Structure 1
Amino acid sequence: MEQATRIFGIRAVIEAIESGKSIEKVFIQKGLSGPLFQELNRHINKANITASYVPVEKLNKLSKGNHQGVVANISPIAFVSLETLVEDSQKLSTPPLFLLLDGLTDVRNLGAIIRTAECCGVTGIIIPEKGSAPINADAIKTSAGAAFKIPICRVNHIKDALFHLQTYDIKLVAATEKTDNTIYDLDLKKPVAIIMGNEEKGVSPSILKLVDHKAKLPMLGSIASLNVSVACGAFLYEVVRQRL
């Protein structure tokens, strides 16, 4: 990640959190203590920010300055709230198309998906705050800058986002091999949200219980699955094809 998206020092990180900066992760030196550290810890917990306790050598590599035992990675993009994203989608002249990523961990897969989503006119991308690949310099590079052009939302839990979308009559479609239906069997002309899962485990079982439809891509070769970014592209372009 570029140095421009990294800050260090306890007070600087506290102020960044208080000002509403989108912080991807905070690295904290093992054994750190004191009143200022306790204040930082309260802010981290309140904002639900991922923290990792590491040896001082790790922090020395992350920062050349006086890091005071704390280094934070700031997201280079500004996230939108779920409420704003969905409300704005209701004003569009075309049916909204959302993309939810359930536990994607590979940064380059994430970047490639963002690029494809922007090309397909996706209304917005929704990712979980924890357990997801960060939108860092590598992701943005792989997205060819599309990360700056498409609304991206981070939520505490994907489930909450699904419930919220359902209140707006947005059809939920999960990409999974655990079904007999293909994506070509579905009517995707109305408001829809496509859910793509983790690279290895796919969409989590608890999410699959909540969706309106499950769909897969037909596999004609001997390999059982596609790379998630390729599969995502196939799903999104079927939506595009139906809506043209």
Structure 2
Amino acid sequence: MQEQTQIFGIRAILEAINAGETIDKVFLQKGLKGDLFSELEFALRQHSINSSYVPVEKLNRLTRGNHQGAVAQISPIAFYDLEDLVSQVMESGKTPLFLLLDQLSDVRNFGAIIRTAECTGVDGIIIQKKGGAPVNGDTIKTSAGAVFKIPICKVDHIKDAVFYMQASGVKVVAATEKTDDTLYDIDFTEPCAIIMGSEDRGINPSTLKVVDAKAKLPLLGEIGSLNVSVACGAFLYEAVRQRLK
């Protein structure tokens, strides 16, 4: 597996999309017009590919080539289909443990979480197509290569994954301070999925409304929160502790 590579130029990116390449994100030049550019915008929407509009200076920093107003990042991994992964894990006979990341934005936190998830036997990580950290070179490095050893799925909305987990008999537990229950009050020995929120906003309020349980970490100091990768490690190892009993 290679680290994330870039392709640039509108036609080249369109060809990559049509060829089924796993494109992580596309940067588009603000204010650019034209039929070919509009065709690219349509293709990105049609395939639900994450994109953002940036000044031309940003594109110039990303590549020295003739980018024509568009630069794409190709993911170094292929993403799994959520339904296939859940079915596969449920049929394996083991007690499933999934991890849902609600728009986590820092690649180093993402990589650290992937590493911990692999070490704790997580069956799959589910992320949202838009708004989250990409799988790039920094992610690979911080994960110590674990990104290649654990299935990762992309969904349109985390809430969709929550509903699918629940319909499949998997309890969904949100890691949030907006509860009186601690993680030690939760039964992690049954099939479950843990949701971790973004560094600045936490879990989306609409998602919190539909989870099966909420749990927090007891904080005994003066600082009101932990780094999300540290908090995630605490939750996953509590699940491991209960399951090893």
TM-score bucket of the superposed structures, by smaller chain: over 0.9
- Equivalent in the alignment of 2:25: 25
How far off is 1:31 after superposition? 3.5
Letter paired with 1:194: I
Gaps of 5+ in 2: none
User: Structure 1 unaligned runs (5+)?
Assistant: none
Q: CA deviation at 1:93?
A: 3.0
CA distance in 1, matches of 2:123, 2:164: 15
Using a 3 Å threshold, how does the CA distance of structure 1 residues 148 and 33 change in structure 2: closer, same or farther? same
Superposed CA RMSD in Å reads 1.5
The letter for the 2-side match of 1:76 is P
Q: How far, CA to CA, are the matches of 2:189 and 2:4 in structure 1?
A: 42
Match of 1:72 in 2: 72
Identity of aligned residues (%): 66
Residue 135 (structure 2) pairs with residue 128 (structure 1)? no
With 46-55 and 109-118 compared, the bigger mean Cα shift is at 46-55
Q: Does 1:169 align with 2:166?
A: no
Task: Report the Cα offset of residue 102 of structure 1.
Answer: 0.8
Q: In 1, Cα distance between the equivalents of 2:235 and 2:44?
A: 37
For residues 4 and 176 of structure 1, the distance between their equivalents in structure 2, rounded to whole angstroms, comes to 32
Number of the residue aligned with 2:137:
137
**Structure 2 residue matching 1:77: 3-state secondary structure:** coil
Kept in 1: contact 2:4–2:136 (CA 8 A): no
CA positional deviation for 1:35: 2.3
- Report how many residues are paired: 243
Rounded Cα–Cα distance in structure 2 between residues aligned with 1:96 and 1:129: 23
Contact 2:113-2:229 at 8 Å conserved across structures: yes
Checking the alignment, whether the CA contact within 8 Å between 2:10 and 2:70 is kept in structure 1 is yes
The alpha carbon displacement at 1:182 in A equals 1.0
Q: Which residue of 1 aligns with 2:238?
A: 238
Question: CA offset at residue 180 of structure 1?
Answer: 1.1
SS of the residue 2:153 aligns to? strand
Aligned to 1:15: 15
Q: 1:95 maps to which residue?
A: 95
What is the identity, as a one-letter code, of the residue corresponding to 2:115? R
Q: 2:113 — aligned with what?
A: 113
Shift in Å, 1:166: 0.7
The one-letter code sitting in structure 2 at the alignment partner of 1:92 is S
Secondary structure in 2 aligned to 1:60?
Answer: helix
Q: 1:227 to 1:40 in 2, by over 3 A?
A: same
| CA distance in structure 2 between the partners assigned to 1:106 and 1:135 by the alignment | 11
CA distance 1:179–1:108, shift in 2 (3 Å)? same
- Corresponding letter in the other structure for 1:167: A
1:192 maps to 192
1:207 is aligned to 2:220: no
- Aligned residue type for 2:151: P
Task: Check conservation: 2:6, 2:74, Cα contact below 8 A.
Answer: yes
Deviation for aligned residue 1:3: 8.2
Deviation at 1:51, TM superposition (A): 2.2
Secondary structure of 1:21's match?
coil
Say whether the 8 Å CA contact 2:176–2:215 is kept in structure 1. Answer: yes
Structure 1 residues 52 and 204, CA gap change in structure 2 (3 angstroms): closer
> In the TM superposition, what is the alpha-carbon distance from 1:49 to its structure 2 partner?
1.8
Compute the TM-score of the two structures, normalised by the length of structure 2. 0.94
> Using a 3 Å threshold, how does the CA distance of structure 1 residues 193 and 3 change in structure 2: closer, same or farther?
closer
Change (3 A) 1:56 1:199: closer
The CA distance in 1 between the partners of 2:238 and 2:171, in whole Å, is 15
Moved runs in structure 1, 4+ residues, more than 4 A?
none
Equivalence for 1:183: 183
Amino acid at match of 2:169: D
Matched to 2:160, the amino acid is D
Counterpart residue number, 2:155: 155
Please report how far the alpha carbon of residue 69 of structure 1 lies from its aligned counterpart in structure 2 after TM superposition.
2.0
Q: What is the Cα deviation at residue 4 of structure 1?
A: 5.5
